[in-house]
Structure 1
Amino acid sequence: MNSKHWIDRIRTSTSTVSSPWYEVSNVDQVYSPGLLVYADRVQANLDRMIEMAGGADKLRPHVKTHKMPAIVELSVASGITRFKSATIAEAEMTAAAGAVDVLLAVQPVGPNIGRFIKLIQRYPGCLFSCLVDDLSVLASLEAAFELAGLQGSVWIDIDVGMHRTGIAPNDSATELVRSIQTSDHVRLAGIHVYDGHLHDTDSEKLRRQFDEAVKPFWIWFEDIQRASGGQLNLVAGGTPTSAFWQANAQARQVKVETGAGTTVLWDAGQPTFSPSMPFEAAAAVLTRVISRPTEFDVCLDLGHKAIASEMPLPRVSWLNFDADHEVVGHNEEHMVLRTKQPCQLRCGDVLYGVPVHICPTVALHQHAECVRDHRAIEKWPVVARNRMLSI
């Protein structure tokens, strides 16, 4: 999609409207349940991300948060050209939107190896890479790249304690490095570290957790760098620890790319397990009251299909509803609130809220309503919510 027109409008916005930031003046034209993305706030978050990292070249934001070409295009216009993705569809969407370097932040196995090869062939102007943490998968990648007549790029995925993916920074990881370095059709792009298990609102507590978790990694990394005879690229950190990684890298004279993604849209959950960060909610859900079974019960059209349900209740932080209440029901199409006192909400009334977890919430919507100057101005397709695009 050609987005130059809305990128220009975002940057020349001069709105002085004093209404709450989330209110949409033409809300009667917005279907519910709906996803709203506030373009000016997205841009502000991108600017903060660049400032915190120390430059756009130190960012590799994860597109899994938004899955939208429009936000990739806005990022590229801000100087960010390298990205992470969680699926081949996200990688394809990102390349089609103008990225020049995309890391598939997963180790491809089975038929996805063939899809990854096709992705590289389809978009020759973009450098694609993937993660690897297993010698047998490396052998499969080597064979696939050889058959295709290509040289592939891989990042070794290092586990610093999350134990979800990766390989510990030990002799096995060193063997993997050496195997890649002696491969004919796979080159080592760098080292990838994700530390999603590290989170705390207390910055000093989190720093101590971080220092302890990454100590073995830095010892291993420095040994590998010396043995390699050159500087290795590093993509590291989630949202809570991103500043620590940049500080460590600066002290060690190593370049690290921050791979966090939530920061572009933010959500209500992140501040509950991260130190204070200067980002603002740039997305919200819009829901309407669809039934009033009793004077205390309010039924909304915000079911599991409209807001991520993997988090404990409540799954949304309301922006324009502060009555004392609890969520007593959450089903496919409905969310039921029960207030402590008789509630004045009527059928058709609109509620705005920030999701507790934005990433899986976005994936539930075909498009987001782009809001600027309090008006929904166009629809931004959530293209990569699909698992397969053209490949």
Structure 2
Amino acid sequence: MIIKEIHNLSILDSPSIILIREIMEENINLALNMVPLERFRPHVKTNKILEICEILKSKGVNKFKASTISELEMLGIAGAPDVLLAHQPTFVKMERFLKMIHSYPGTKFSCIFDNYENLNYFNELLKSFKITQDIYIDINVGMNRTGVSPSHLITLFEEALKLDNINIIGFHIYDGHIRETDIDERNRIVNEAFQQAYSKIETLEKKYNKKFIIIAGGSPSFSVHAQNPRVECSPGTFIFWDWKYSKILPDLNFKCAVYVISRVISIINSKKICLDVGHKAIASENPFPRIIFLDFPEAKSISQSEEHLVLEIEDTSNVKVGDIFIGIPDHICPTIALHEYLHVVEKGEYLYDWKVMAKNRKINI
């Protein structure tokens, strides 16, 4: 589909985001062709939309991953059977997590831990509610963000075994730092990082005569982990894709399904214009360019503030105030979280809106 041929695009205010549903469906189907359903656990942190979770469920997806309590609750509302909170809960979130279990009994919730003291506190809280809870141990294989180091994994595991209300069912490994463009190099680094953890997991499996669930990777390493029968894969960005991943991961055939609509609000001079797509409309944690415009790919971002983006283009003589500029976000995940609704396009026509339900820190619980 040629995005600019959406015939009723002009009725939408800006800045806003549109979803080409056919492209999103293609991305989902491509992912499902890469890995068996039983090993597919998509991360909802990118989409945050109830209707999309329901579409995934309708295609047979029963396992999900989330980063926030709101995302967890959205999946509870969707009736997702198996949901992992891949973000170690602290004290307040532990209480919200337990309320979630009570409120959505049809969903089996689990969470990750990398710290004995925190896990022990959770165990005491579980005791007071007379609950036994499934958890995964989070392992750091180089992201250096969360997770126990592989060298300390066995110690943490065996300490956690002594906690009566904790049931360790598996391990969580995130390798988002590995984004090599060369697929052979990416395969090598992903597998080397994974092996750091897997060698320890194998030791525990032999010692305790038990097979554990292993959840690993995101979108960049998806194609690598998809080849490993021991791994549940948990990509998130795949569903919408973005400019950054399309550049650095050309071997993955996902397509950009979400676009940002902006308008010219001022013509500064013969080379510069100002658009209405500021920090509040597009993720701004990365350097320029934060958005690539379809009709002006050579446009140079000069400055950005809360509601404004100044661009330098070759010639402004054919541009007028009110013109629509359509762009692909460099980073889609935080961009989605900046918008209350996503405008859905089917067969070249804007038809309806989906609420970005889990953008808020709280839905009900």
TM range, smaller chain: over 0.9
1:173 Cα deviation from its structure 2 partner: 1.3
SS of match in other structure, 1:165: coil
Q: Over the residues paired in the alignment, what is the CA RMSD in angstroms?
A: 1.4
Equivalent residue pairs, number: 365
Deviations for 1:337-377, whole angstroms, at most 9, x for unmatched residues?
11233441111111111100000000000010011111111
SS of match in other structure, 1:384: helix
Among all aligned residue pairs of Structure 1 and Structure 2, give the percentage whose two residues are the same amino acid: 35
SS of match in other structure, 2:335: helix
Deviations for 1:117-162, whole angstroms, at most 9, x for unmatched residues?
1111111110111110100011011111111121111110000011
Q: Is structure 2 residue 19 aligned with structure 1 residue 37? A: yes
Q: Residue in 1 aligned with 2:166?
A: 186
Contact map agreement 1:82 1:102 (CA 8 A) in 2: yes
Contact map agreement 1:203 1:275 (CA 8 A) in 2: no
- In 2, Cα distance between equivalents of 1:149 and 1:217: 32
1:75 to 51, 56, 67: 56
Compared CA separation, residues 343 and 82, structure 1 to 2 (3 A): farther
Q: Is structure 2 residue 239 aligned with structure 1 residue 264? A: yes
1:247-326 matched pairs, under 5 angstroms: 247=227, 249-250=228-229, 254=230, 256-322=231-297, 324-326=298-300
- In 2, Cα distance between equivalents of 1:347 and 1:164: 44
Deviations for 1:252-289, whole angstroms, at most 9, x for unmatched residues?
xx2x1111100000000112332510111111111111
Q: What amino acid is aligned across from residue 308 of structure 1 in structure 2?
A: A
SS of match in other structure, 2:26: helix
Compared CA separation, residues 345 and 111, structure 1 to 2 (3 A): same
Q: Residue in 1 aligned with 2:354?
A: 380
Structure 2: 5+ residue stretches without partners: none
1:100 Cα deviation from its structure 2 partner: 1.1
- In 2, Cα distance between equivalents of 1:112 and 1:216: 30
- In 2, Cα distance between equivalents of 1:384 and 1:159: 27
Q: Residue in 2 aligned with 1:243?
A: 223
Q: What amino acid is aligned across from residue 302 of structure 1 in structure 2?
A: V
- In 1, Cα distance between equivalents of 2:130 and 2:200: 33
SS of match in other structure, 2:252: coil
Compared CA separation, residues 358 and 277, structure 1 to 2 (3 A): same
1:28 Cα deviation from its structure 2 partner: 2.4
1:25 Cα deviation from its structure 2 partner: 1.2
- In 1, Cα distance between equivalents of 2:314 and 2:252: 34
2:175 to 165, 172, 195: 195
- In 1, Cα distance between equivalents of 2:56 and 2:4: 22
Contact map agreement 1:201 1:271 (CA 8 A) in 2: no
1:1-391 matched pairs, under 5 angstroms: 20-21=2-3, 23-53=5-35, 55-170=36-151, 172-247=152-227, 249-250=228-229, 254=230, 256-322=231-297, 324-391=298-365
1:178 Cα deviation from its structure 2 partner: 2.1
Residue range with higher mean Cα deviation, 182-191 or 141-150: 182-191
Contact map agreement 1:35 1:368 (CA 8 A) in 2: yes
TM-score where L is the length of structure 2: 0.96
TM-score where L is the length of structure 1: 0.90
- In 1, Cα distance between equivalents of 2:247 and 2:311: 22
Contact map agreement 1:60 1:260 (CA 8 A) in 2: yes
- In 1, Cα distance between equivalents of 2:4 and 2:64: 28
SS of match in other structure, 2:263: strand
